[in-house]
C-alpha cells in the first residue's frame, strides 16, 4: 500500500521496532549458527570415528599368503591312504611345510634361524593342507604349488611396509626373507574369507568373526521372539484395557524406571536368576537373549504405547460406532496403524541390544569360544564382546581385527536401522 516515495514518517512505535530489528536479526543469526556448529561438530566426530576405524580396519579384511612348492611325500606325511579319515587327521603336515621352507630358503642355518623361518607360516596352513588332501586324495605323492597362510607377524609386517614398517617382532633375517619373497612375487594379500567363515582363535591370522555373528544372531532371535510380542501385548493392555488407577500408574512409572536401569544390573539379575537359581548353562544365547529381552522390553513398551496412543481416536470411534468389538477395533485398526511405530521401536531396541556388552559379561558370554554356535544352547559370544576380547589381546594383528569387527557390527546396525526406515515406509504407504 505504501510505496517508498510517499511513505509517512514512522510512528514512535514503528521506530522502536525498527531500532530493535538489527539486534533481533543478529541474535537470530547467532541462534542458527549454534545449531549449525552443533551439527558440524557431530559430523566431525563421526568422520574421525570412521576414518580411524576404516583406516585401521580395512587391513583386517585381508590376509597375507606365501607361495610354496609342497612335496606331499607319503613318508614325510605318514599318510599312506589318503581316503582314510583317521590317517588324514594324524598326518604330519607341519613337516611338509617345513621341508618346503627349507627348500625355499636354504640359507637358514642353525636351530634358531630355522625356528624363525618356520614361525613365518601360520599353523592354519597345515589345516588348509589337510583339508585339501582330504578333498583330493590323488594329490598324495605329488608336488603342488600353493599359497599358504602367513603368520600374523609376517602379515602385520608385510601390510605395514607400504607406510611405516612395523618390524618389532621380525628379526633381520626374517625381514630379508620377506624381501626375497616380495622380489620373487611369492607373497600376496588376498581377501580374508577365513575372517567370515571361522570362529575365534588365539592366532590372529586364523581368527574369524563368524562365531560372534552367529552368537549375536541367535541371541537377537531369542530377544526379538520374546520382547516383541510381550512388549506389544503389554503396550496394548496398558493403553486400551488397563483401568486408570493407582496400580496402572505404578506399573507405568516402573516401566519408565526400568528403561533407565544400567544394563549391567540386568546382567547381574540374569546371573542370579537364570544361572544360579534355574541352573541354566553359562555363555549360551538363550540366557543372553532373555537378559537382553529384559533390557529392551521397556524401550519396546514405551515406543509401542506411543504408537498406539498416536492412532487417532476418530478411527477407534468409527470402528466402535459400526459395532466392532474392542478386540476387532484393536486388531483391525489400531494395530495396523501403530505397527510402523512399534516396529521402529522394536528395531531400535534390537540395535541397542545388539551393541550391548555389559550384561552379557555377567552371564559368561565373554568366554573364548572357537566353535561357531549352531543353536541357542551352544556356548557363544556376541560381536561387541568379541570386539572387547580382541581389543584386549596383546598381538598387534588383533588391532586391525578389532577395527574390522567394529565395521561388521556397524554394518549390522546400519542394516537394522535401514530396515526400520524401510519397514516404516512400506507399511505407511498402505494408508
Binding site for another protein (CB under 8 A): 243-244, 312, 314-325, 328, 332-333, 337, 430-431
| Burial bucket for residue 41 (CB in 10 Å: 0-12, 13-18, 19+) | exposed
Q: Which is nearer to another protein, 286 or 337 (CB)?
A: 337
Cβ neighbors of 306 (< 8 A, separation 6 or more) are: 341, 345
- Distance of closest approach, residue 304 Cβ to another protein, in angstroms: 19
- Distance of closest approach, residue 322 Cβ to another protein, in angstroms: 5
3-state secondary structure 145-183: EEEEEECHHHHHHHHHCCCCCCCCCCCHHHHHHHHHHHH
Q: Which three cell numbers stand for residue 294?
A: 529384559
- In the three-class reduction of DSSP (H, G, I as helix; E, B as strand; rest coil), residue 1 is classed as coil
Q: Which is nearer to another protein, 249 or 317 (CB)?
A: 317
Owner of C-alpha cell 466392532: 324
Q: Which is nearer to another protein, 173 or 424 (CB)?
A: 424
Q: Which is nearer to another protein, 323 or 394 (CB)?
A: 323
- Distance of closest approach, residue 333 Cβ to another protein, in angstroms: 6
- Distance of closest approach, residue 336 Cβ to another protein, in angstroms: 8
How far is residue 281's CA from residue 287's CA, in Å, rounded to a whole number?
8
- Going by C-alpha positions, the residue among 200, 182, 205, 195 that lies closest to residue 119 is 205
Sheet holding 187-191, edge to edge: 143-149, 62-71, 187-191
- Distance of closest approach, residue 373 Cβ to another protein, in angstroms: 43
How far is residue 192's CA from residue 379's CA, in Å, rounded to a whole number?
25
Under 8 Å between Cβ of 227 and 346: yes
- Distance of closest approach, residue 325 Cβ to another protein, in angstroms: 5
- Distance of closest approach, residue 312 Cβ to another protein, in angstroms: 8
Phi and psi for 330 in degrees, rounded to 5?
A: -70, -50
Q: Which is nearer to another protein, 250 or 415 (CB)?
A: 250
- Distance of closest approach, residue 314 Cβ to another protein, in angstroms: 4
Q: Which is nearer to another protein, 316 or 401 (CB)?
A: 316
Q: Which is nearer to another protein, 4 or 323 (CB)?
A: 323
How far is residue 142's CA from residue 328's CA, in Å, rounded to a whole number?
74
Q: Which is nearer to another protein, 12 or 429 (CB)?
A: 429
Q: Which is nearer to another protein, 159 or 333 (CB)?
A: 333
- Distance of closest approach, residue 321 Cβ to another protein, in angstroms: 4
Cβ neighbors of 33 (< 8 A, separation 6 or more) are: none
State how far the alpha carbon of 316 is from the alpha carbons of 6, 17, 323, 324, 341, in Å: 60, 49, 11, 9, 17
Amino acid at each position: 500500500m505504501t510505496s517508498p516515495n510517499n511513505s509517512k514518517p514512522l510512528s514512535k512505535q514503528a521506530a522502536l521496532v525498527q531500532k530493535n530489528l538489527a539486534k533481533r536479526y543478529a541474535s537470530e543469526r547467532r541462534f542458527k549458527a549454534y545449531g549449525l556448529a552443533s551439527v558440524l561438530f557431530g559430523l566431525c566426530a563421526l568422520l574421525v570415528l570412521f576414518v580411524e576405524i576404516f583406516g585401521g580396519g580395512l587391513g583386517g579384511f585381508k590376509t597375507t599368503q606365501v607361495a610354496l612348492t609342497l612335496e606331499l611325500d607319503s613318508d614325510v606325511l605318514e599318510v599312506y591312504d589318503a581316503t582314510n579319515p583317521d590317517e588324514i587327521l594324524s598326518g604330519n603336515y607341519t613337516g611338509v611345510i617345513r621341508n618346503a621352507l627349507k627348500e625355499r630358503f636354504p640359507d637358514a642355518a642353525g636351530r634358531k634361524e630355522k625356528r624363525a623361518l618356520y614361525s613365518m607360516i601360520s599353523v592354519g596352513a597345515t589345516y588348509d593342507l589337510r583339508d585339501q588332501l582330504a578333498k583330493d586324495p590323488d594329490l598324495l605323492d605329488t608336488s603342488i604349488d600353493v599359497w599358504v597362510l602367513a603368520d600374523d607377524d609376517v602379515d602385520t609386517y608385510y601390510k605395514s611396509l607400504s607406510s611405516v614398517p612395523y618390524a618389532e617382532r621380525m628379526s633381520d633375517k626374517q625381514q630379508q626373507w620377506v624381501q626375497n619373497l616380495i622380489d620373487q612375487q611369492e607373497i600376496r594379500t588376498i581377501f580374508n574369507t577365513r575372517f567370515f567363515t571361522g570362529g575365534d582363535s588365539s592366532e590372529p591370522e586364523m581368527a574369524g568373526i563368524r562365531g560372534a555373528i552367529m552368537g549375536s544372531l541367535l541371541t537377537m532371535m531369542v530377544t526379538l521372539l520374546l520382547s516383541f510380542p510381550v512388549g506389544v501385548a503389554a503396550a496394548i493392555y496398558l493403553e486400551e484395557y488397563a483401568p486408570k488407577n493407582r496400580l496402572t500408574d505404578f506399573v507405568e512409572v516402573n516401566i519408565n524406571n526400568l528403561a533407565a536401569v544400567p544394563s549391567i544390573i540386568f546382567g547381574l539379575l540374569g546371573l542370579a536368576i537364570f544361572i544360579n537359581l534355574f541352573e541354566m548353562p553359562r555363555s549360551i544365547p538363550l540366557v543372553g537373549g532373555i537378559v537382553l529381552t529384559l533390557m529392551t522390553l521397556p524401550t519396546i513398551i514405551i515406543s509401542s504405547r506411543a504408537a498406539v496412543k498416536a492412532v487417532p481416536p476418530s478411527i477407534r470411534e468409527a470402528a466402535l460406532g459400526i459395532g466392532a468389538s474392542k478386540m476387532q477395533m484393536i486388531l483391525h485398526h489400531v494395530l495396523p496403524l501403530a505397527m510402523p511405530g512399534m516396529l521402529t521401536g522394536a528395531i531400535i531396541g534390537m540395535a541397542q541390544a545388539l551393541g550391548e556388552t555389559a550384561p552379557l559379561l555377567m552371564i559368561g558370554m565373554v568366554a573364548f569360544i572357537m566353535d561357531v554356535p549352531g543353536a541357542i544352547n551352544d556356548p557363544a559370544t556376541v560381536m561387541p564382546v568379541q570386539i572387547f576380547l580382541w581389543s584386549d589381546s596383546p598381538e598387534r594383528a588383533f588391532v586391525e581385527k578389532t577395527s574390522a569387527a567394529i565395521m561388521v557390527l556397524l554394518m549390522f546396525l546400519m542394516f537394522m536401522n535401514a530396515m526400520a526406515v524401510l519397514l516404516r515406509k512400506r507399511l505407511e504407504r498402505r494408508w
